[in-house]
Amino acid sequence: MLDSDAFGLLFHNARTFNNWQDRDVDTGLLKQAWDLTVLGPTSANCEPMRITFVKSDAAKKRLKPFLSEGNVDKTMNAPVTAIVAQDMEFYEKLPDLFPHTDARSWFAGKDDAIKATAFRNSSLQAGYFILALRGLGLDCGPMSGFDAAGLDGEFFAGTPLKTNLLINIGYGDRNKLPPRSPRLSFDQGAEII
């Protein structure tokens, strides 16, 4: 079992950040976070998440027009923004990722199964990704509040990728954190039957 320091890093002391220190995020950390993320389970090892890391000023200018007003400043000031997408043709990689059966046939030509599996599993992988980033000492600010169709046209035109969510990444400014918002108790959100 992890010790209390590890749980603190991943959960108790971790927060969603909107304000960032002026510190670069090393590309090696982003690669390490990816390598940790893909170890997490997905349905039939389908791994539909794809990430575009927006880091350069030129790329941020491309991203900015598609952000909701409340997300502009925190995103433009973040060292990195991950556009977390779902590959709508993830099943084409199943012969390599799940080779012991013909899993590709479970999805090819089945739009409802593709959409549900791509969304569910890319969202699951985004959660793993956040924990991997936190474990590597980085802070995150996951968010909705953007024009997904616009992002798809700008960053993924001509590809099978569709935007799922955005995650700002960097070293958060703890001096500007508001108090933690309340959370549901076990009895409010769970039951054992």
pLDDT single digits (tens) 122-132: 999 999 999 99
Structural element, H or E, at residue 139: strand 139-143
pTM equals 0.96
Contact between 62 and 155 under an 8 Å Cβ cutoff? The reply is yes
pLDDT at 131: 98
Residue type, 184: L
C-alpha distances in Å from residue 113, one per residue of 37, 160, 165, 177, 181: 23, 15, 20, 40, 35
Q: Report the top-level CATH class of 18-171.
A: alpha beta
- Which regions of the chain are under pLDDT 70? none
Question: Sheet containing 80-87: which strands, arranged edge to edge?
Answer: 49-54, 80-87, 161-170, 139-143
**Where in the chain are the domains?**
18-171
pLDDT at 27: 97
pLDDT at 41: 98
pLDDT at 85: 98
Contact between 168 and 20 under an 8 Å Cβ cutoff? The reply is yes
